[in-house]
Amino acid sequence: MDEQNPTLYPLGLRLAGRRTVVVGGGPVAARRTGGLLAAGAHVTVVAPFVCEDLAEHVAQGAVTWVRREYLTGDLDGAWVVHTATGDRAVDALVAQDAEADRILCVTAGDAAAGTAWVPAVARTTLAGETDGDGSPAEVVVAVNAGRDPRRAQRVRDAVAAALAAGDLPLRRVRPAGPQPDADVRPLGRVALVGGGPGHLGLITARGRRLLAEADVVVVDRLGPRGLLAELGDDVVVVDVGKTPGHHPVPQDEINAILVHHALAGRSVVRLKGGDPYVFGRGGEELAACEEHRIPVEVVPGVTSAVSVPAAVGIPVTHRGVSRGFTVLTGHEDVGTVPAAPDHTVVLLMGVSRLAETAAALVAAGRSPATPVAVVEDGYGPRQRATVGTLATIADRAREAGVRPPAVTVVGDVVRLSPAWAAHTG
């Protein structure tokens, strides 16, 4: 090994309750002091004058201020010293004394003169998790980049952003540590995550982050299932997908699955298509978890009621065309919907009842000539729009072989879509 350019040995230090010294009273010294205080260290600042931020720490009693120039002996009993005086001679003396007393020393003015370096640090708190001592669990990213602090900061920020977005694995693998009562398992948590209409890029950053932390994922048929390939091999995936007329896992059993895994101390994500509260029965799942006092987080999703029509160029509202919209399932009574031509109706599911639904809308006052679009597999490989009117859409859908999943849009906004222009052109 080249003794002039040795390999850096990365190390995390527990400084809580231990004496540390900061020499200098300027902004750099203030930043170093803030970091040490956050770690729980007992901090002594040696400087004839201190900046405003340091003065505030002194006023609060958070640090001990020795109001004079540095003297040999000020490091007695210290574990770590940071020197940031701006005076090379003073910093060199501090480094020399630290070396003699075997104290790790960080020198702000000349990194090569010290025995330790401060990396660029980012902390990512893990939702709902605690360490063995009960403190919030976190992932700490520390980057050293060849004594180039700006490069280190950029790399740190990029890694932190990837962690926040769930692009990097965050799930705990090792238990948090011994619990006060070994016979009592820590309570897990449940996140009801709206995955959007199926496109992998349309899940929220929060939803993706929770997926990266999950021990168990309970997934719907219409959720963004491509994300499952990114999960670790030891993540439990429970498929509770439903198809029209076929519900192999009843809702009560889905609720029980969520409760069972959370009571076993696991982090559970209920990955749903669209939004959990838009015909997603998220409210029932929330109530089941709350009944057992399980912490629950609801993460909204991009609902297919709006996004799937948008995928084929249909806005559910448009100035001068539609002032509002109603979202129903195709199984509900559509006769209660306003029959005004400037009110859009969006139907989720119900392809098999399209003829009955169209007839009910006409009976409720809609013109038989009202435009209709049925959008299949929004954002999926089969995406297409079949258009017609209330008088013709059932026959057109049957001829085209339309099949679920599909969203039906009724109203003049359909005229704005490329599919309508092709149909009428």
Reported as a single tens digit per residue, the pLDDT across 49-93 is: 999 999 999 999 999 999 999 999 999 999 999 999 999 999 999
Q: Is the pLDDT confidence value at 294 over 90? A: yes
Fold topology of 306-424: 3.30.950
Q: What is the pLDDT of residue 5?
A: 56
Q: Is the pLDDT confidence value at 46 over 80? A: yes
Fold topology of 19-113: Rossmann fold (3.40.50)
More confident residue, 80 or 127: 80
Q: Are 35 and 24 in contact (CB under 8 A)?
A: no
pTM of the model: 0.68
Question: Residue range 120-141: average pLDDT?
Answer: 73
The pLDDT tens digits for 149-208 are: 788 888 888 888 888 777 777 777 665 544 545 455 678 999 999 999 988 889 998 999
Strand pairing partners for 64? 44
Q: Are 130 and 157 in contact (CB under 8 A)?
A: no
Question: Which runs of consecutive H residues, i.e. helices, occur in 119-179?
Answer: 149-165
Share of the chain above pLDDT 90, in %: 64
Cα 139 to chain centroid, rounded: 14
Return the half-sphere exposure (C-beta side, CA atoms, 13 A cut-off) of residue 180: 2
- Placement of tokens 């599919």 in the chain: 419
Residues 6+ apart with CB under 8 A from 395: 388
The pLDDT tens digits for 374-398 are: 999 999 889 999 999 999 999 999 9
Q: Are 130 and 147 in contact (CB under 8 A)?
A: no
Annotated catalytic, 239? no
Q: Kindly calculate the radius of gyration of the chain based on its CA atoms and give it in whole angstroms.
A: 31
User: Whole-angstrom Cα distance, residue 29 to residue 330?
Assistant: 66
**Which runs of E-coded beta strand occur in 296-342?**
296-299, 324-329
165's tokens:
């977005």
Annotated catalytic, 272? no
The pLDDT tens digits for 90-110 are: 999 999 999 999 999 999 878
The residue extents of the domains of the chain are 19-113, 120-165, 189-302, 306-424
Q: Are 129 and 176 in contact (CB under 8 A)?
A: yes
The pLDDT tens digits for 337-376 are: 888 889 999 999 889 899 999 999 999 999 999 999 999 9
User: Whole-angstrom Cα distance, residue 423 to residue 290?
Assistant: 50
Overall CATH class of domain 189-302 = alpha beta
Alpha carbon separation from 377 to 16, 220, 254, 304, 374 (Å, rounded): 56, 15, 25, 10, 10
Of 53, 74, 167, 242, the catalytic one is: 242
Q: What is the pLDDT of residue 1?
A: 39
- 306-424: same fold as 189-302? no
**At what angle are helices 52-59 and 27-38 packed, to 10 degrees?**
40
Q: Which of 41-55, 268-282, 326-340, 342-356 has the lowest mean pLDDT?
A: 326-340
327's tokens:
């979202």
Q: Which of 7-11, 91-95, 181-185, 292-296 has the lowest mean pLDDT?
A: 181-185
**CB neighbour class for 133 (10 Å; exposed up to 12, middle 13-18, buried from 19):** exposed
Of 91, 220, 275, 377, the catalytic one is: 220
Nearest to 82 by CA among 66, 98, 63: 98
